[in-house]
Amino acid sequence: MLFDLLLVAGGALLLYGGGESLVSGASALARSLGMSPLVVGLTVVAFGTSAPELAATLAAALQGSPEVAFGNVVGSNIFNVGMILGVAALIFPLAARARFLRREMPFMIGTSALMLFLVRDGRIGRGEGAVLLLLLAGYLWLMLRKDEESARVAAEFAQEYGKVTAPLWASVLRVVAGIAILVIGAKILVTGAVGVARAFGISERVIGLTLVAFGTSLPELASSIVAAVRREGDIVLGNVVGSNIFNVLAILGTASLTVPIHVQVELGAWVDLSVMLAFSLLLWPFLHTRQRLDRWEGAVLLVAFLAYMGWLFA
């Protein structure tokens, strides 16, 4: 039991380190290749911070733990909105000045609703995985188009992602090292999490929604807290919303294309998916009232998240 907990902690730390190495290396590589800081933040960084979820989901699916794999995607999306945005908004209200948020929010809501449709028969097959990846290609095309943002938003992203301080070979090395660490960390984390589930008699679904989701969401949590302290609200929101979209389209798409994911269609699973969709729908009016996420709105998200966690373990 103690050994399993140590595996979970060690795997989470490796995922954090691997994710940080991958994001920093990929960001520098993208900037060296001429991508704008805004595009780097919306695509490369959003995908990079979702890399731990991808590694853990693939590892769980290949190790024969589909409930952990599916729960990780759903739990990470709930954690991103409820916990990360809740905590970040309590630190400092998150301004939502960027135009891309108005374009990405419907996409996030749509992908959340799509998951309810995908699991109707208890299986996400290779064909459905291919459809998700095609939707991802469309989303990336939309993000990579020339996007004119306000000077203030562009400057915010340039300050965060505009610096290239390492040579090209060093950036490539950090990307490769990050991927390797992620693969190792994911295998360790999933092995430990399944062991904890069996020791405590907790379902793999709940472990995926909580322990694994928290471990794989550490990069988003860390980067969002730092950005909130710096009062970079658009970066926090873009990171979370973009990561939620990538979690469904890229991670679930890649995992189900590799090995079909079987989901136990039961009341709990429908509640989990409904909660994920509810958080996405709740965020929409919050961001549109005063073009920012205020502290009281962050508190609502955080309390709702903690209530859901309590319900899972009740």
The amino acid at 260: P
What is the average per-residue pLDDT within 212-222? Answer: 82
**% of the chain exceeding 90 in pLDDT:** 25
- How many distinct structural domains can be found in the chain? 1
The amino acid at 78: I
Q: Enter the pTM of the model.
A: 0.86
Two tokens, residue 8: 């979970």
Inform me whether the pLDDT recorded for 277 exceeds 80: yes
What is the average per-residue pLDDT within 103-117? Answer: 90
Give the per-residue pLDDT at 273: 93
Structural contact between residues 100 and 239, judged by C-beta atoms closer than 8 angstroms: no
What is the average per-residue pLDDT within 253-258? Answer: 90
Give the per-residue pLDDT at 154: 66
What is the C-alpha to C-alpha distance for residues 271 and 278, in angstroms, rounded to an integer? 10
How many other CB atoms are found less than 10 A from the CB of residue 116? 14
The per-residue pLDDT of the chain, averaged, comes to 84
Give the per-residue pLDDT at 77: 95
Domain of residue 6, residue span = 2-313
Sign of CA dihedral 43, 49, 55, 60: negative
The band of 160, judged by pLDDT with boundaries at 50, 70 and 90, is low
Give the per-residue pLDDT at 91: 92
Inform me whether the pLDDT recorded for 165 exceeds 70: no
The band of 86, judged by pLDDT with boundaries at 50, 70 and 90, is very high
Two tokens, residue 6: 């140590």
Structural contact between residues 261 and 118, judged by C-beta atoms closer than 8 angstroms: no
Q: The domain that contains 305 carries what CATH number?
A: 1.20.1420.30
